[in-house]
């Protein structure tokens, strides 16, 4: 059989495009901001992870330009060889200090961070306990680690304890969880995880890609939010969200970071982040330290939008704190049509479909930025409510409307 048969038989995208509801790869024609230009038209951007509004900040942009002028456009090698810049070392030192940990190391992407950290720390005969809603990179990392994978129900501490009790006490154990879950926006139950880890001799890793810059004092993330920084062994973060760049990092005890640095294949065999990326992350980190009010503004505008959506009768998945607010759309077709209509009316959001959600629980994922205004939120909330409240309940009725539109 031809190995490409699966490719030729893949018709899902073609069918969605024929119906005019394909939701991906819309081209930005302006910088990432609270309002953007996409395909020639203004859109209110509530589908970005630019939580602190720093991707277009002149200080971040200028730092990127200056670093590129000084060091060039790339490093042309791995950190192990010729790819380590003084800028990388400065960034790692500042990250460790900001996160209240001994040491830090920087990866080329957030995805590679999880691949490298987990596959270096967990090996054969170890056990990884993984929340079912953890990011895909965590699941991929567990596969290449060759450790045993044990999944526990989302944020279900009784299930986690039951699984920890069953585990071989002679095996190494690592509990891995998102800090702020990327789709639902809820926080992990870190206090209980810490309690269970101590009881069952396990270590803890928190993927705080959506927590750093978002929650906790000065935006230091989930562990700081709960006052448990000293009890979390490994904290991973990314630069592509609050830190306005590209890359990822680990903070932990110096001995652990040194071990991962010499064993993480995604670190050893990848070119280092560019000078511009490193300088952008460093500049964004300095702004967060100097302007902690940005974090509170983010929480305030998220709370405002949460209230506006509820006041308009929309059913949301309410974390109560994070800037990620999913809105229930239930079925794939309703979700895709809603996203299309919102896009056409000037609001950019993200569809969340199975397997990212359970069947019948599809969502529109909305996310917010500290520089959003109440006026923009009112405008977006009105459009969202009008679209969703006038959308047919049944998939059959929606398909019929689409077919008529095509004709």
Percent share of the chain, pLDDT over 70: 97
The three-point CA angle 187-182-371 to 5° equals 90
Cβ contacts of 293 within 8 Å, gap of 6 or more? none
CA gap 212, 52 in Å, rounded = 10
| Protein fold of 5-51+292-406 | 3.90.1150
- Evaluate whether 5-51+292-406 and 58-290 have a shared fold: no
Confidence of residue 402 (pLDDT cuts 50, 70, 90): low
Confidence of residue 319 (pLDDT cuts 50, 70, 90): confident
Q: Take residue 345 and report the two structure tokens written for it.
A: 């009316």
Are 52 and 298 a contacting pair, CB within 8 Å?
A: yes
Q: Where are the alpha helices (DSSP H) in 226-364?
A: 254-263, 265-268, 275-290, 293-311, 332-344
The three-point CA angle 218-180-237 to 5° equals 65
> Helix or strand or coil: residue 85?
coil
Q: What is the pLDDT of residues 27-60, one digit of tens each?
A: 999 999 999 999 999 999 999 999 999 999 999 9
Q: Which residue is it, tokens 């969200």?
A: 241
pTM of the shown model: 0.95
CA gap 172, 231 in Å, rounded = 17
Residue 392, pLDDT score? 81
* Domain coordinates in residue numbering, the chain: 5-51+292-406, 58-290
347-348 sheet: strands from edge to edge: 35-38, 41-45, 347-348
Q: What is the pLDDT of residues 105-164, one digit of tens each?
A: 999 999 999 999 999 999 999 999 999 999 999 999 999 999 999 999 999 999 999 999
Q: What is the CATH number of domain 58-290?
A: 3.40.640.10
Statement: residue 394 has pLDDT above 70: no
Is-cis flag, bond preceding 355, omega within 30?
Answer: yes
Are 203 and 167 a contacting pair, CB within 8 Å?
A: no
Are 246 and 96 a contacting pair, CB within 8 Å?
A: no
Statement: residue 406 has pLDDT above 60: no
């Amino acid at each position: 059989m031809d190995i490409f048969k699966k490719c030729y038989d893949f018709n899902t995208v073609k069918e969605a495009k024929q119906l005019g509801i394909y939701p991906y790869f819309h081209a930005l024609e302006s910088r990432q901001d609270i309002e953007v230009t996409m395909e020639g038209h203004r859109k209110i951007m509530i589908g970005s992870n630019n939580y602190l509004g720093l991707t277009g900040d002149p200080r971040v942009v200028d730092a990127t330009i200056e670093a590129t002028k000084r060091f060039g456009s790339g490093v042309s090698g791995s950190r192990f060889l010729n790819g380590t810049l003084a800028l990388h070392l400065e960034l790692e030192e500042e990250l460790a200090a900001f996160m209240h940990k001994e040491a830090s190391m920087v990866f080329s992407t957030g995805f590679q961070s999880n691949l490298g950290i987990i596959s270096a720390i967990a090996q054969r005969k170890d056990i990884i306990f993984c929340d079912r809603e953890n990011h895909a990179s965590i699941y991929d990392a567990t596969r290449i680690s060759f450790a045993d994978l044990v999944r526990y129900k989302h944020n279900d501490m009784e299930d986690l304890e039951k699984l920890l009790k069953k585990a071989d006490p002679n095996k190494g154990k690592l509990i891995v969880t998102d800090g702020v879950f990327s789709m639902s926006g809820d926080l992990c139950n870190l206090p209980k995880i810490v309690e269970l880890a101590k009881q069952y001799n396990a270590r803890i890793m928190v993927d705080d890609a959506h927590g750093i810059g978002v929650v906790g004092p000065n935006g230091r993330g989930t562990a700081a939010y709960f006052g448990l920084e000293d009890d979390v062994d490994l904290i991973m973060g990314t630069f592509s969200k609050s830190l306005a760049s590209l890359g990822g990092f680990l903070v932990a005890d110096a001995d652990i970071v040194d071990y991962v640095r010499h064993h993480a294949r995604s670190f050893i065999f990848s070119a280092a982040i560019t000078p511009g990326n490193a300088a952008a992350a460093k500049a964004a980190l300095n702004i967060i330290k100097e302007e902690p009010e940005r974090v509170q503004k983010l929480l305030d505008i998220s709370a405002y939008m949460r209230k506006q959506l509820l006041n308009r009768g929309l059913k949301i998945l309410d974390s109560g704190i994070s800037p990620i607010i999913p809105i229930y759309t239930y079925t794939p077709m309703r979700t895709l049509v809603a996203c299309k209509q919102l896009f056409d009316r000037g609001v950019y959001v993200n569809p969340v479909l199975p397997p990212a959600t359970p069947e019948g629980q599809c969502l529109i994922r909305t996310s917010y930025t500290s520089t959003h205004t109440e006026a923009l939120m009112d405008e977006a909330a009105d459009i969202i409510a009008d679209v969703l409240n006038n959308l047919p309940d049944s998939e059959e009725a929606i398909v019929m409307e689409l077919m008529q539109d095509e004709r």
